[in-house]
Structure 1
Amino acid sequence: MSAQDQAAGLRKWADLQRQQRGDEAPPEVTESPGPMTYRSPVVPSAAAMEPPVTPPKPKTPLMVTGLPDDGPIEVRKVSARLGQWAALGRAWAGDPADWDIRIVMPDAPELATLSQQHRRWALWVNSDADAFGRMYHLLKQLRQHNGPQRLLALHEPHLPRQGLLANLQQAAGDYLGIELLLLAR
């Protein structure tokens, strides 16, 4: 086999390999009477080398009431609590960054529409001395404005289930027809 035939066979083989890998173009070969010389290979563009971009995963809306509408501070508070539950192995809490946390006032004019559009609602329960009265009043407002009928109780980790949380859950169910979900530790 002559050197020319061997070089031609190698070029065909290399072209086939590049096509299977999806490379853009083979390096240019210049034939000369002497030894073969190669021109510099064609380098794929930066765009061709970047991995494909996947669209971001849509966030799950979580409507939260019981907090002042102070924006990012309150959203971070809710996100931190979800992160604590996730760290305890609560799979439903997932990654706090996957939630679209929205603060909703109990007397918001769009409350009825929001409660029909979104199924995940939470009530932030404070642990101060006046918390029961304030939270009951807030739940009553939700009921009067056709708000959600089922809410997850969000609270600080140290708040025991007996006492405030259990009383609030019972009053919401018995007097307002609202289901307040409490999570066991």
Structure 2
Amino acid sequence: MSKKFNAKLDILVNSAGWCPVKPVSEMTIKDYDMAFDIDVRGLVDITINSLPLLRKTKGVIINLSSAGLYRKGPNLSVYLGAKAAIETFTKVWALDLASNGMRVNAITPGAIKTPIWSKAGLSAEEARIHQQATTDLIPVKRMGNSDEVANVALFLASGEASYVTGAIYSVDGGMSI
């Protein structure tokens, strides 16, 4: 990649996710494969291919996981399994890459108000009920916004976080407490 583009890379943010919402009794291996391909394999692939560039700049890797790991709900086994893998990669890669001057951290967003909520295939009433039920689980009693996650990413990417590696930052309004 570096030869092809003669590029510089300081920060890699791995942010992808797909979530089959169904009980394990209805899960298929196709659901598992798709979730792990998107959530884990994609992260590993882009990270491996970015390492030559990141080593040159002593770059930073920021992986996005999920606060759902700390406040589990039904029907999310494959999604949360994939996110658990991401957190394990984060900690092990932090150890592996520290000698290169690189840092690896993760952010675990909670319920964040994004357009994905409108694409969940729920009716307007179902969406309202789901969002209210979600909000009721959050101690600050509101959903977060993408800027709140971005601000943590900016901190982790900055020199102000030069002594932070292998950390998992929750941005979830206290949902994971």
Give TM-score, length-normalised by structure 1.
0.30
Give the helix-richer structure, 1 or 2.
Answer: 2
Choose between structure 1 and 2 for higher RCO, CA contacts under 8 A separated by at least 6 residues.
Answer: 2
Give the strand-richer structure, 1 or 2.
Answer: 1
